[in-house]
Amino acid sequence: MSAAAPGTSKTGHSDVVQKKKKGPGALATAYLVIYNVVMTAGWLVIAVGLVRAYLARGSYHGLYYSIEKPLKFFQTGALLEILHCAVGIVPSSVVLTGFQVMSRVFLTWAVTHSVREVQSEDSVLLFVTAWTVTEIIRYSFYTFSLLNHLPYLIKWARYTFFFALYPMGVTGELLTIYAALPFVQKTGLYSITLPNKYNFSFDYYTFLILTMISYIPLFPQLYFHMIRQRKKVLGHVDDYSKVE
Amino acid sequence: MSSVWCLFSHPKDVGITSAMSRTTFFEVKILDAKTKEQLCFLDKVEPYSTTGDIKILFHKLYPQWYPARQALKLDPKEKSLRDDEVLQNLPVGTSATFYFRDLGPQFGWTMVFLAECVGALLTYLLFYFRVPYIYSHRFISTSSPHPVVTLACACHSFHYGKRLIETIFVHRFSHGTMPLRTIIRNCAYYWGFSAWLAYYINHPLYTPPSYGDLQVHYALVLFAMCEIGNFSIHLTLNNLKGDGSRGRRFPVPTKNPFTWLFYFVSCPNYTYEVGSWVSFSIMTQCLPVALYTSLGFLQMTIWAKGKHRAYSREFKDYPANRTAIIPLVL
């Protein structure tokens, strides 16, 4: 098995296979394979948990509680990906990866976990489902890429499912934040008021509203970036009959 | 797509050189970097004309693209040519092709600095004088009962006022211009933070420093020293540039004690600047000021490290014990 693993980029940026690119060493590759396998397995656990809970209850309300712990564990575990970029074993931008992971972690902990009242909302199921399907495909994509045996189906799925999953996830996230607003305002959660010794104030309610507004410029940029990546990665399908 | 006769007479032409230069003239074609469409054809260009000269010629044909807005390159993917590059030294035959890119509206650095400083200064004053719609209705045009608030306003205004004076009378900018987007971004940064700081310091619910007058007075002394220090360094750097650009030397301590920081750091102007903001944070005991100071410190450290590296590379006898911005550590 070759030590160099071409095309092991973690974001959509340079998924086109570049044989000349220097990949991570053998040890780093082994570690990354283990990491991605574990994450794939973790999100599969969440997926199975959701299905089993749905079958057991007979409705899709309140399924969050059945997968709360693995969701928190594996989504928070994604913070390691920032470290991977910082150390250099994954050729992606630290800032971009950091931003993506932190937004997920923010939604998991600072919104869903912190505001108990939204945990029974259906919007939570919406984004959890979107995240689950996305992450299972994404982590298996990375696993296979690292092992140089990427089935076309996985590549296709990664660059096609997002068409539905992105809007689905964004809708779920926005609805959840919106549902949390009245409770944050009422309890003054995570907020600091004047007067105080350090002359500082923070209004979490306003912060959440600003976060929601920030989706407006950010989401289209990410969405169109994925569409561009799709053209680049899947575009040459007409030229060859077999890929990789 | 028309051919343009361009008789270019250079003041240097007069004398012996004119006889020799009559041998080979250059032809210069200028194409748009994106569309590759021919924008201009210059005939009979002197071989020792520079990129800057060509830009001036191009500007005559296209008045909306003044030289500062033009980026000329030998290849669309390459870096832009410097204005002082001589035509005959470039890797072209006697028929040269340049690619043109419009850099957008450009502003001189002096203009930019003025906009940043004036904006920051005035924004703060809006809050100090408690202009309507900022604070609660009953506080319009009132003043804070705390003397430290007035002192803070004076210090903040002095800091930016000093910067204005320096921009007009002291600094000599080597780079020409800056694009519009950068100016908007820079102004947003300075004006935005000025507003954010001023909001808390001039707030009706502002809490004065915990250690009272002692804290304020010590901070004021430190602030004054850092401002004087920063100004001294700017003067020193200015005199450095004045001594003929070919004999480049790195800055050294002078008789002024405030410049003795040069024994320890490459960029004492940044050191003093950080010092000013640290003292302002202590004076106001305001967390947003401390946050702004940290951001500034981060940015200035990046700049200082770059400068330090450039100095070390350029001068073989550069003092080894100097650090970039903080003596002995950074």
Summarize pLDDT for B212-226 with one digit per residue, the tens.
999 999 999 999 999
SS3 per residue for chain A = CCCCCCCCCCCCCCCCCCCCCCCCCHHHHHHHHHHHHHHHHHHHHHHHHHHHHHHHHCCCCCCHHHHHHHHHHHHHHCCHHHHHHHHCCCCCCHHHHHHHHHHHHHHHHHHHHCCHHHHHCHHHHHHHHHHHHHHHHHHHHHHHHHCCCCCHHHHHHHCCCHHHHHHHHHHHHHHHHHHHHHHHHHHCCCCECCCCCCCCCECHHHHHHHHHHHHHHHHHHHHHHHHHHHHHHHHHHHCCCCCC
Contacts across the A-B interface (CB distance below 8 Å): 29
The tokens for A112 are 């869903």
**CB interface of B with A, residues 171-210, below 8 Å:** 200-201, 203, 205-207, 210
pLDDT confidence of residue A238? 52
- Among B101-105, B282-286, B287-291, whose mean pLDDT is lowest? B101-105
Read off the pLDDT band of B23 (50, 70, 90). low
Residue contact B207–A197, C-beta within 8 A: yes
pLDDT in tens, B115-132: 999 999 999 999 999 999
pLDDT of residue B107: 84
Contact call for B207 and A201, based on CB within 8 A: no
The catalytic residue among A54, A166, A215, A223 is A166
Whether residue A187 lies within 8 A of chain B, CB to CB, comes out as: no
Nearest CB neighbour to A197, from listed B200, B201, B210: B210
pLDDT, tens digit (0-9, with 9 covering 90-100), for B43-98: 888 888 888 888 888 888 888 888 888 888 888 888 888 888 888 788 887 888 88
Contacts of A210 in chain B (CB under 8 A): none
Our answer to whether residue A173 is catalytic in this structure is yes
pLDDT for position B242: 60
pTM (two decimals) = 0.76
Q: Contact B286/A197, CB-based, under 8 Å?
A: no
Amino acid type, B79:
K
Helix (H, G, I), strand (E, B) or coil at B182: helix
Active site residue A178: no
Say if residue B67 is preceded by a cis peptide, omega within 30 of 0.
no
B33 contact A CB<8A: no
Residue B170 pLDDT class (50, 70, 90 cuts): confident
Average pLDDT over residues B248-261: 91
Average pLDDT over residues B242-265: 83
At residue B239, the pLDDT reads 83
